[in-house]
Structure 1
C-alpha cells in the first residue's frame, strides 16, 4: 500500500503577466499570494521617429520578443512543480498596426506618440463632441482614433486594425480575440455607452469590421494553442485573458482597485489614478476615466511636472542633497518645477511656466523647494478630484521612481496630511498577472489585489513640519491664481 507521501503532488498554479513596452517585453510569473517566482525579458527595436511627428515600430518583432520573454520565464519555473494557469497581455496605450485578415502586420505600427493624424483627431473631437463630453474625454493630437482613420484611408479590403494585445492574443490562441475596453478607449470606444463611436467612424468612412469586438479586461479570450505552447513554454489550453493599458495595469499592481483608493505615480511626470463608483467628468478636461474591469471607473490625470524637477541634478549627488534638504527643513521659497510649456493636470493652462518665488538660500533650499513644489501639485490634484465629487479615502498608494526617495515621500505625506503606502511592485507586468489571476486563482480583481499585493511601506506625515508646509501650499496656490493659470475658488 503506497503512503500519502508517495502520491503525486498537484502543480502549484501560477499566472503570467506580459508587458509590451516601447523598448522591451517583460514577463512576470506570480503565485496566488503575489510572490514573483520567475521573470523574463526580451528587447524590442527602438521606434523610428521622423518628420511630421511620425513614430513607428516593426510590429513583426512583437511576437518573437514576447515568445522569448515567456520562454525565459517558463523555463525558470520548470522542475519546480509550478504551472501557468492563465496569462494576460498589457501594452502601451494608443499603438496600432494594420494587419491582413489572418492577423499578420502589413506595415509598421504607428506608436502611441505618433502625431501624423493630429488634424484628423481635431476633426474627430468636433464630430463626436457630445459623446466625448458625456464621457469626459478629449481626443488629443496623438489619440489612436486618428491613426485608425489614417489606416482606413489606406487599407485594402479585408484588412483590419489591431492594438498590440490584439495581435499577441491571436498569436497565443491561434484565432482572433476581442480587444479590451481599456486599450480601445482612445481608439474611439465609448465605455459609457458600451459601443464604438460609429457615428464618428461613419463620418470618416471607417468600414464595419475594421476593429475587433470589445470585452471587459480579464475576460477569457481563448486558450494557448499547441503552436504557441511550443514557442513559449506555456501549457496547451492555458486560458488567455484580456489585459489593460500599461497605466491602468500599473495602478492595479499597487492594489488600488476599490472605490476611493488612489495612487500617485511620481516618475518623469506626476500621474494620479484611482477608482470611483460612478463616471465623473471634469469640465476643464484635466481628468478623464478608463472603465474598471468590474464596471466602476478609473479617473486619472497626468501633470507636466514630476521627476523632471530633478533633471538638472547629478543622480550621484541626490543622496547628499536629500540629506542636506532633510536637515534644513521646509524651504524658504516656492518652486513650481515645470520644465516644459503648459500644464494639463490638475489644471489646464497652455500659458503655465515654471517659476521660483523667492530666492533660495543655498542649494539645499533650492532642492527642497523643488521637492515641495511637486508635492504641492499632488495636493492640488487630490483637491481637484475631491472637488469633482470623487471619494478619496485611506493612505495614498505611492509608486514611481520618485517614491524611492524617503525624503520626498515624507514631504508628500506631510503636504497631503495623510499617510502614503509605497507599493512594492507597481509594474505593468505584475498588474497583468493580477488580471490573469482574476477569475482564475481568485474570484475577481478585488480578491486578486487583496491576496497578491503587499500592504507596502508606510510613510507618515512629519507633524512638526505641517504648519510651515500648509502655509507654503497656500502661497503656492495664490501664485498660480495670480498668474491666471488656476481659477479662483
Structure 2
C-alpha cells in the first residue's frame, strides 16, 4: 500500500524514515513511513499471515497458541526490507499489536512456553471464580476495564498453580516481548498495559491488589513506560544479521493497536466517535478522563489509556471476525468466495431479513461460523440465511446495529454528543458496511485511513524523532486529513429507513432478552 501526496523527493524538508510493525490478530505488516514538511507517505515493506497454532496439552486438551517466534522472524524480515526501501537510514522502529496476550520469561530472560491465544477455552469458567474473591465494582473502580474472559487478569488467574507461572519472573505483552527481543529492555507500554485489567487507570501504574487477585508472583509485572519515549537500541548482533542500521532506536508507540489507530483518526472536531474496524471492532469516544460509574460498569464499557494522556472510552464489538471465519469455513467446504463479489451480492439482498447480536459469546471461538449464525437466527425465530450473500448481509447489518447501539450508549454514559463517526482500519474499505453504519447511526461516517494503526504508530515515532510540527494530536490528525484518502457517507434519514432500523434494533433486543 502506498499512500498519498508524497513529494518526488521523500527526504525533502528533513523527512524522517520510520518503520511501523503492526501485528493484528489475523495478519502482520511492516510499513515504511516518510514524514516531514507537511507530507506523509507510507510504503508497505512486508505483509504476512498471523495464524494461530493448535496443540494438545498433557491432559489431551486442545489448546490455541500464537506462533510468536514466527511473528518475530517475519518482523525482522520486514524491517530488513524497510531498511532497503528508504534510500536513507531508518530513524526508528515502533511496534503495536492486539491486546491482553502475553509471554512469560524465566530468571534468565528465556521464553517459558508458547503464548496462549485469547480465544483459547481455558478461561471460560474463570471470571465468576475471580469475582467471588474481588467484587466487580472494586475491579472496575480501579481499572475501568470491561469484563471479558479474554482479559489478562482472567488468563493469569486460569494458570494459578501451574509450573509455568511459578517459574516466571517477567510478564511481557506481545509488542513488549518483541521489543525485548530487539533491545533487551523489559518494560510495559502504558496503552497496552491498561487493557490487562491489572492496571490502575487513575494512578497509571499496576494495581498490587489485582496482581494479588490474579495470584501472580511478586515482581512479575515490569516497569511501565509512556508512548513516545525511547525503549532502547536494536542489539548489534540483531542489526548486523538482518541488515539494520547500527544503534537503530526502538520507540514506545501506542503499542495497543487501537491506541495507535485512534491517533490517526482524521478528526477536525472534538465531537466525534470512532470505530476501529478489523477482526474486532472497537467503538467509542476519546475523553480526557475515565468514566467509572456503576452505569458504565453495568454497560460493560472500558476505559483504556491513549496517547497524550487521553482515555479511549469504548466497547468491543465482535467485528469482521464473523465474516472472516465464515469465509474460512466456506473455503474448507470448497467454496472460495471473492470478497468484492460477495459484498456486491450482499448489497442486493433483502434488507433486515435476519439480524443478530454479534457479541453473543457463541461467536467468540473459531469454528463453523455459518452454522452458528444459522442456529442464532433459528433461536430468534428469524429466517436462516440461505446463501453466502444473505449471511454477509445479516452480519453487516448486525454490525451496523451494534455500532449504533454502542455509540449511543457511550454518548449517554459520558455525557457527550457526536456529529460524525470515523471508521478506520481495514473495514473502511467495505463500502456496504460504511453506508449501513451511517444509516444505522443517523450521522455521517468518514471512512479512512485503512492503515490507521500503522500511521498512528509512525506519527508518534516521527514526533519522538524531532518533528516539532507534530506537537499534539490535533497536528497529527491535520496531517492525516490532508494526506490520506477519505470517503464520506451520508445517512439516509428518510422516515422509512429510520423506522426499518428501529424495528431491526427491536428484534435484536428481543432475541438477546430471550436467550
Q: TM-score range by the shorter chain?
A: 0.7 to 0.9
- Partner residue of 2:33 out of 30, 42, 52: 30
Correspondence list, 1:289-328, <5 A: 289-304=303-318, 308=322, 311=326, 314-315=337-338, 317-318=341-342, 320-321=344-345, 324=348
Distance between the aligned counterparts of 1:52 and 1:367, measured in 2?
Answer: 33
How far the C-alpha of 1:26 sits from its partner, in A, is 1.8
- 1:71 equivalent to 2:80? Answer yes
Report the equivalent of 1:133. Answer: 140
Report the equivalent of 2:153. Answer: 145
- Partner residue of 2:488 out of 459, 464, 480: 459
3-state DSSP of counterpart to 1:17: strand
Distance between the aligned counterparts of 2:147 and 2:108, measured in 1?
Answer: 30
3-state DSSP of counterpart to 2:196: helix
* 2:146/2:300 contact within 8 Å kept: no
3-state DSSP of counterpart to 2:287: coil
- Partner residue of 2:239 out of 229, 248, 255: 229
Residues 343 and 382 (structure 1 numbering): CA distance in 2 closer, same or farther, change over 3 Å? farther
Residues 52 and 214 (structure 1 numbering): CA distance in 2 closer, same or farther, change over 3 Å? farther
Greater fraction of residues in helix = 2
How far the C-alpha of 1:242 sits from its partner, in A, is 1.7
The runs of 5 or more residues in structure 2 that have no matched partner are 1-10, 331-336, 364-374
CA offset digits 1:399-445 (Å, max 9, x no partner): 35553343442333233232211103235333322332243333344
How far the C-alpha of 1:389 sits from its partner, in A, is 2.5
Distance between the aligned counterparts of 2:44 and 2:512, measured in 1?
Answer: 52
Distance between the aligned counterparts of 1:171 and 1:257, measured in 2?
Answer: 39
How far the C-alpha of 1:121 sits from its partner, in A, is 4.4
Correspondence list, 1:187-226, <5 A: 188-203=198-213, 205-226=215-236
How far the C-alpha of 1:53 sits from its partner, in A, is 6.1
Distance between the aligned counterparts of 1:117 and 1:323, measured in 2?
Answer: 38
Number of aligned positions between the proteins: 463
Distance between the aligned counterparts of 1:22 and 1:359, measured in 2?
Answer: 29
TM-score by length of 2: 0.76
Distance between the aligned counterparts of 1:164 and 1:363, measured in 2?
Answer: 35
Residues 133 and 42 (structure 1 numbering): CA distance in 2 closer, same or farther, change over 3 Å? closer
Residue range with higher mean Cα deviation, 279-288 or 333-342 = 333-342
Distance between the aligned counterparts of 1:353 and 1:436, measured in 2?
Answer: 45
- Partner residue of 1:278 out of 279, 284, 289: 289
Report the equivalent of 1:14. Answer: 17
How far the C-alpha of 1:374 sits from its partner, in A, is 3.5
Structural RMSD (CA): 3.9
Report the equivalent of 1:485. Answer: 513
3-state DSSP of counterpart to 1:212: coil
Distance between the aligned counterparts of 2:320 and 2:71, measured in 1?
Answer: 31
The runs of 5 or more residues in structure 1 that have no matched partner are 1-7, 345-351
Report the equivalent of 1:55. Answer: 64
TM-score by length of 1: 0.80
Residues 482 and 45 (structure 1 numbering): CA distance in 2 closer, same or farther, change over 3 Å? closer
How far the C-alpha of 1:451 sits from its partner, in A, is 1.9
Report the equivalent of 1:5. Answer: none
- Partner residue of 1:247 out of 236, 258, 273: 258
How far the C-alpha of 1:309 sits from its partner, in A, is 6.5
3-state DSSP of counterpart to 1:137: coil
CA offset digits 1:243-278 (Å, max 9, x no partner): 322333333344469854322245456431331222
Correspondence list, 1:73-152, <5 A: 73-77=82-86, 80=87, 82-129=88-135, 130-134=137-141, 135-149=143-157, 150=159
* 1:335/1:356 contact within 8 Å kept: no
* 1:118/1:140 contact within 8 Å kept: no
